[in-house]
Amino acid sequence: MRYLPHTEADVARMLKVIGAPAVEALFAHIPAAVRSQRPLDLGPALDEAALLDHLGEIAAQSRPAGAEGALSFLGAGLTPHHVPTAVDALLGRAEWYTSYTPYQPEISQGTLQAIFEFQTIVAELFGLGVANASMYDGASAAAEAILMAKRVTGRGHAVISAGLHPHYVATAETYLSGLTDSFQLAPLDDRTGRTTLSELGEVSCLVVQSPNYWGVVEDLPALAQAAHARGALLVVATTEPLAYGALESPGACGADIACGEGIGLATGPSLGGPGVGLFAARTEHTRKLPGRLIGETVDHQGRRGYVLTLATREQHIRREQATSNICTNQGLIALAFTIHLCLLGRRGWRELSALNLAKAEYAKRQLASLRGFSLRYTAPTFNEFALRVRGGDAARAVEKLAEHNLFAGVAENDTLLVSVTEKHRKGDIDRLVKELNEVLP
Amino acid sequence: MSSDYPNDLRYTKEHEWARLEGNRATIGITKFAVESLGDITQVDLPKEGEAIRKDAVFGTVESVKAVSDLFAPCSGKVLKVNDPLSDSPEYINEDCYDEGWMLVVEVADLKEIEALMTAQQYAEYLKENH
Amino acid sequence: MKRAQPIETRQLLHSEPPIFEQGSPGRSGASLPPLDVPAVDPVAHFGALARAADPELAEVSEVEVTRHFTRLSRWNYAIDIGLYPLGSCTMKYNPKVNERVARWPGFAGLHPAQPPSSLQGALALMWSLERLLCEIGGFARATLQPAAGAHGELAGLMMIRAYHQDRGRHPTQVLIPDSAHGTNPASCTLNGFTTVPLKTGADGLLDLDALRAAANGETAALMITNPSTLGLFEERIAEIAEVVHRAGGLVYMDGANLNALLGKVRPGTTGVDVMHINLHKTFTTPHGGGGPGSGPVGVVAALEPFLPTPTIEKEGTSYRIEYARPKSVGRLRSFFGNFGMHVRAYTYIREMGGEGLTRATEMAVLNANYLRARLQGAFPLAYDRPSMHEVVFTDKRLKKETGVQTLDVAKRLMDYGYHPPTIYFPLPAVTGGAGALMIEPTETETPETLDAFADALLSIVEEAVENPQLVKDAPHQTAIGRLDETLAARKPRLRWTKQSST
């Protein structure tokens, strides 16, 4: 057992110091009635070579959309981008991944400063004053945003746009199920694909995703005005932060809280997790934030340093009155997101965003002009758009193409959701157009 | 001891003080409370016009790693709040009886104040209990 | 003991300003493909919704980024640098092979929206990991969806609520020992439950009489940590479960300390109905500087209908994703959970096997008891009962004799080259008002390391007698000293701004 260093001589010496006759004696106080009656049955232990063979066999049973030889236009809440090699190379430093939550700041300045930089970047992207050290993912971040809006406004009921990712809606429903709060869905306009609002009542917040699940860019300033007119907060969620390289930030559009998912810019898709939940808000709501916060301060010699701060909001101090039960964040993925955004910088961020927009618009025009395909919605989109497929069953077409490792998009009934990014060359897009054209009867 | 606990104030067992002037009471926390809390980083107080109820929680005071409830020495309506505390909670550490005051309330029942401990009684209470 | 010495620090350690204070306008470390389609002007495309000004991101080259994050990393202590004996955190070695496997395209390259037929390997791995965890924990089924321990608590309590509601009951209370982790009561609040604290008994264990007095028709559940945060096995767990069950409640176990029980106790067979498992503690997925974690939840058969959606089911030789679960509590997050962590935990469990995991628990308990034997002369125990995988000492004697407290000891330990143990927990109410040193060495540490660590702690006690100020002013060897946390909380600066640059 390469991870267990104890020799039999070690064990004997240690038992002598302890004053116990055998290792088993250390468990003697556990009543027999609750002791395991048989050894664990987990299969044989594997040496490293056998282990790699075994895992290799399992890995080979999937056909990854993100591997060489495959061509994927899958998005729908997770838009994979090209993550530069330097990100994972730096992430592989054990000082990052084998350290714990930075409770001892004197020997955790690396993590603390990196997450401080992450908070800065998230606040900048969203155009808001303050961001936390990350949430589990975009869905739970959106649910936490609804709970935070309740703390700010004192109101329980929320309105959620039907354009919010279905997993996010479902997660919000789960989070609210134990409380007396509820929400209603605001439908999308069937033509534009944008959220339509009937009369907003006395609600805590309006939650919209932009670009929404169908890729449509929402008119955030109008939605902010509608929410604020009733004393409600505007919560903007996003599954594609890169859109805000081209779009005005949620904060500048009037959002009070912005949240989202950063996995596509941080790591490989990894079946959707671990990712990183982004969470930002207006500065005046700082003390209502869920999750960890890192702040700048000085040491006794006046040197700049960073600490976990405003912890009295959190569960380990305020227990049942905490702003959230969250403890663990997604620190390492937040770090990956930070490194990538630093590599891109101002110019790279803008250019990457422009590349995505241009490629998606090219694909959109080509596909919409195919016989049997039309655009589902008219409002502008960023790097994902919905097509209506003649004959209704988009899923069958997608499945057929997937057999040849062409993942054409996410199908729902007669709609095909296609995500196009910087990873797609013109030739890739042309191939998608050609194959979709051929597969449709 | 007397300068730590001024004679013109009344005291609660939860370490709040009240200074009565007419039917108005100014409220804060005692030097003992401040010393056991350490550096205060945040105070949450009711707004002007709100009512507080004797012995009920009317706010919280925070240090880096603790949150403590504040208990009302009397019932009444909040007339004034020491707003500068929200930006400068350190006033409570620096001078808890003057610049660090928290609320002025219109006292509903003056007897509630009279029933509180005097400075001497509070000093004895501290000696016995802490 | 052998008098230990603080470590010598002669390595270069660069002070590193925020990345936003480096670089030059227009510089970038990006490597982007050329535009091979017609350009689109955002303003023409989005109109007034187009972004007016770029976000203030850093403007640096890849070399600068690499140096920045490499230099910053060196300001971190880590398991791969040395002993990290944080109690209740199980900072054991994170195997390198796990990291390699999780990065393979066959795992890391999978998109969650792929057709299930193209995800069979991943579904098989999740299905198998669920069975392995159930075998270890003694449960019927498990969900892998929760992203962390607290997320698992939320899921578990939701299943408990759904279970009661399914029986037409609406109990409102959850009983929680005062030694519990703060996430326990916070998770109850998120479920609309009120919490009833149970005082730790004089022996450090849950007080059965207090439990009997508190359990009634309003009891939805008891949340218990076993071994407790004091490192003590709740020996009366069977009776405890019986009392709770008789009152109509269920037993939730916080599995944070499962590393003490592998192969020895299967909690699901001790009367526990629901338990979360921290893959980032017991099953070696890396802590990552505070996450990502992973908090699967195991349940007994009666709770299976309420598991979160979706589940992975096996039919013949193929696997499918099951969404139609009418009694499910629903979804707790997007997609399938922290799958990358599932891969790592599965890899670890298959490498160790049942015998290996049992040995891991034995060595973890041996290591904790060895430190206990070496240190209890200097630091009184919080409770003098058999310790499991961790041991909780108090600073009672040291503080009385020298004025030195746990915080000072913790900071001085850094000078000797160690990460301090957990010191902010358990709460003083549980340790008789004293500061606690909660030490969990884990099984991956050698006895030589433990001896050196014990010598360091004992040397600090001697220092505290000889020169208490030396200890109170620690750390001295670190690149930065004690930080002003009061300033950070009073005048929060939570992001970099141009004004804050110096």
**CB A317 to CB B66 under 8 A?**
yes
Given a contact cutoff of 8 angstroms between Cβ atoms, the answer to whether A86 and A343 are in contact is yes
**A357 and A430 part of one domain:** yes
Rounded distance between C-alpha atoms, residue A148 and residue A171, angstroms: 15
Nearest-5° angle of CA A419, CA A422, CA A428? 70
Residue B99 has a CB neighbour count (10 Å cut-off) of 15
**CB B67 to CB A311 under 8 A?**
no
Question: Residues B95-123: what's their mean pLDDT?
Answer: 95
**Nearest 10 degrees: CA dihedral of B101, B107, B112, B115?**
50
Given a contact cutoff of 8 angstroms between Cβ atoms, the answer to whether A168 and A237 are in contact is yes
Rounded distance between C-alpha atoms, residue A429 and residue A359, angstroms: 8
* DSSP per-residue codes, B25-81: EEEEE-HHHHHHH-SEEEEE-PPTT-EE-TTSEEEEEEETTEEEEEE-SS-EEEEEE
**A264 and A369 part of one domain:** no
Could you tell me which chain A residue has the CA closest to the CA of B61? A312
- Angle, nearest 10°, between helix axes C149-166 and C183-190? 40
**Interchain contact A56–C (C-beta under 8 A):** yes
Residues of B in contact with A318 (CB under 8 A): 67
**A79 and A121 part of one domain:** no
**Interchain contact C489–B (C-beta under 8 A):** yes
Residues of A in contact with B86 (CB under 8 A): none
pLDDT digit string (tens) for A46-92?
999 999 999 999 999 999 998 888 999 999 999 999 999 999 999 99
Neighbours of chain A (3+ CB pairs under 8 A): B, C
Smallest CA–CA distance, residue B67 to chain A, in Å, is: 6
**A318 and A392 part of one domain:** no
Question: Residues A240-255: what's their mean pLDDT?
Answer: 98
Mean pLDDT score across all residues of chain B: 93
Report how far apart, in Å, the C-alpha atoms of C265 and of each of A62, A356, B48, C262, C302 are.
36, 54, 58, 7, 21
Residues of C in contact with B130 (CB under 8 A): none
H or E, element range at A257: strand A257-261
Could you tell me which chain A residue has the CA closest to the CA of B41? A310
Q: Looking at residue B61, what is its pLDDT?
A: 93
**Interchain contact A217–B (C-beta under 8 A):** no
Write down which residue in A339, A369, A388 finishes a domain.
A339
pLDDT digit string (tens) for C409-446?
999 999 999 999 998 777 766 777 788 999 999 999 99
Domains defined for chain C, CATH in brackets: 19-73 (no CATH), 98-351 (3.40.640.10), 362-487 (3.90.1150.10)
Please state which CATH class domain B10-110 belongs to: mainly beta
* Closest by CA position to C59, among listed C22, C17, C32: C22
Rounded distance between C-alpha atoms, residue C243 and residue C251, angstroms: 10
Write down which residue in A319, A339, A359 finishes a domain.
A339
Rg over alpha carbons for chain C, rounded to the nearest Å, is 25
The answer to whether position A129 is within a domain reads yes
**Interchain contact B66–A (C-beta under 8 A):** yes
Rounded distance between C-alpha atoms, residue C498 and residue A387, angstroms: 45
Rounded distance between C-alpha atoms, residue C370 and residue A401, angstroms: 61
What's the number of domains chain A is made of? 2
pLDDT digit string (tens) for A145-170?
999 999 999 999 999 999 999 999 99
Structure tokens at B115: 């029933």
Residue A32 has a CB neighbour count (10 Å cut-off) of 7
The answer to whether position A23 is within a domain reads no
Residues of C in contact with A404 (CB under 8 A): none
Q: What is the DSSP letter of A217?
A: P
Q: Determine the 3-state secondary structure of A305 from DSSP.
A: strand
Structure tokens at A274: 């671990």
Report how far apart, in Å, the C-alpha atoms of A104 and of each of A108, A167, C418 are.
6, 36, 11
Q: Looking at residue A317, what is its pLDDT?
A: 82
Band of the pLDDT at A441, cuts 50, 70, 90? Answer: low
* Closest by CA position to C247, among listed C211, C223, C198, C274: C211
Q: Looking at residue A323, what is its pLDDT?
A: 86
Best of B42, B62, B87 to disrupt the A interface (most A CBs within 10 Å) is B62
Q: Looking at residue B116, what is its pLDDT?
A: 95
Residue with tokens 């589902």: A376
Residues of A in contact with B40 (CB under 8 A): none
Given a contact cutoff of 8 angstroms between Cβ atoms, the answer to whether C245 and C251 are in contact is yes
Residue with tokens 């496997």: C101
Residue C74 has a CB neighbour count (10 Å cut-off) of 17
Beta strand C297-299 pairing with C274-276 = antiparallel
Given a contact cutoff of 8 angstroms between Cβ atoms, the answer to whether B39 and B90 are in contact is yes
The answer to whether position A37 is within a domain reads no
Q: B11-14: long-range contacts at Cβ-Cβ below 8 A with a sequence spacing of 24 or more?
A: B11/B116, B11/B117, B11/B118, B11/B119, B11/B121, B11/B122, B11/B125, B12/B71, B12/B73, B12/B116, B12/B117, B13/B117, B13/B125, B14/B70, B14/B71
Residues of A in contact with C99 (CB under 8 A): 92, 97
**A306 and A419 part of one domain:** no
The answer to whether position A34 is within a domain reads no
Q: Looking at residue C502, what is its pLDDT?
A: 46
The answer to whether position A78 is within a domain reads yes
Q: What type of residue is C401?
A: E
**Average pLDDT per run of 10 along chain C, which is 502 residues long?**
87 92 96 98 96 95 98 97 95 98 97 96 98 98 97 97 97 94 92 94 94 98 96 97 98 98 98 98 96 97 98 97 97 97 98 98 98 96 95 93 95 97 78 87 98 98 97 95 95 88 48
pLDDT digit string (tens) for C46-100?
999 999 999 999 999 999 999 999 999 999 999 999 999 999 999 999 999 999 9
**A271 and A372 part of one domain:** no
Q: Looking at residue A387, what is its pLDDT?
A: 96
**A160 and A281 part of one domain:** yes
- Asked whether residue A291 carries a pLDDT value surpassing 80, the answer given is yes
Q: Looking at residue A218, what is its pLDDT?
A: 98
Write down which residue in A280, A311, A339 finishes a domain.
A339
Band of the pLDDT at A320, cuts 50, 70, 90? Answer: confident
Rounded distance between C-alpha atoms, residue C412 and residue C404, angstroms: 11
**A279 and A352 part of one domain:** no
Band of the pLDDT at B1, cuts 50, 70, 90? Answer: very low
Smallest CA–CA distance, residue C146 to chain A, in Å, is: 9
Given a contact cutoff of 8 angstroms between Cβ atoms, the answer to whether A329 and C10 are in contact is no
Q: Which sequence spans correspond to the domains of chain B?
A: 10-110
Residue B65 has a CB neighbour count (10 Å cut-off) of 14
Q: Which of C424, C485, C490 sits opposite B90 (nearest CB)?
A: C490
Given a contact cutoff of 8 angstroms between Cβ atoms, the answer to whether C392 and C426 are in contact is yes
Q: Determine the 3-state secondary structure of B124 from DSSP.
A: helix
Report how far apart, in Å, the C-alpha atoms of A409 and of each of A71, A384, A417, C123 are.
10, 10, 5, 21
**Number of B:C CB contacts under 8 A?**
16
Best of A288, A306, A325 to disrupt the C interface (most C CBs within 10 Å) is A325
* Closest by CA position to A286, among listed B45, C491, C289: C491
Give the structural domain span for A205: 86-339
Adjacency order of strands within the sheet including B66-71:
B40-44, B57-63, B66-71
Residues of C in contact with B65 (CB under 8 A): 424
Q: What is the DSSP letter of A230?
A: T
The answer to whether position A325 is within a domain reads yes
The answer to whether position A35 is within a domain reads no
Burial of residue A221 (CB within 10 Å: 0-12, 13-18, 19+) is: middle
Q: Looking at residue A337, what is its pLDDT?
A: 98
**A380 and A332 part of one domain:** no
Rounded distance between C-alpha atoms, residue A171 and residue A174, angstroms: 5
Q: Looking at residue C429, what is its pLDDT?
A: 67
Residues of B in contact with C424 (CB under 8 A): 65
* Closest by CA position to A160, among listed A195, A223, A206: A206
**A361 and A274 part of one domain:** no
Q: Determine the 3-state secondary structure of C497 from DSSP.
A: coil
Q: What is the DSSP letter of A197?
A: -
Q: Looking at residue C10, what is its pLDDT?
A: 73
**Interchain contact A381–C (C-beta under 8 A):** no
Could you tell me which chain C residue has the CA closest to the CA of B40? C486
ipTM surpasses cut 0.85:
yes
Question: Residues A88-114: what's their mean pLDDT?
Answer: 96
Given a contact cutoff of 8 angstroms between Cβ atoms, the answer to whether C89 and A103 are in contact is no
Residues 24-53 of chain B with CB under 8 A from chain C are: 39, 41-42
What number of H helices and E strands is found in chain C? 15, 11
User: What values do phi and psi take at A237, rounded to 5?
Assistant: -105, 155
Best of A54, A136, A356, A362 to disrupt the C interface (most C CBs within 10 Å) is A136
Q: Looking at residue A126, what is its pLDDT?
A: 98
Q: Looking at residue A178, what is its pLDDT?
A: 87
CATH number at residue A197: 3.40.640.10
CA-based end-to-end distance of chain C: 47
Residues 365-424 of chain C with CB under 8 A from chain A are: 365-367, 369-370, 372-374, 385-386, 410-411, 414, 419-420, 424
Could you tell me which chain B residue has the CA closest to the CA of C492? B41
**CB A90 to CB C70 under 8 A?**
yes
* Non-local CB neighbours of B3 within 8 Å, separated by 6+ positions: none
For residue C142, how far is the Cα from the chain centroid? Answer: 19
Q: What is the DSSP letter of A189?
A: P
**A314 and A396 part of one domain:** no
Half-sphere exposure of C424 (CA within 13 A, CB side): 11
**A330 and A351 part of one domain:** no
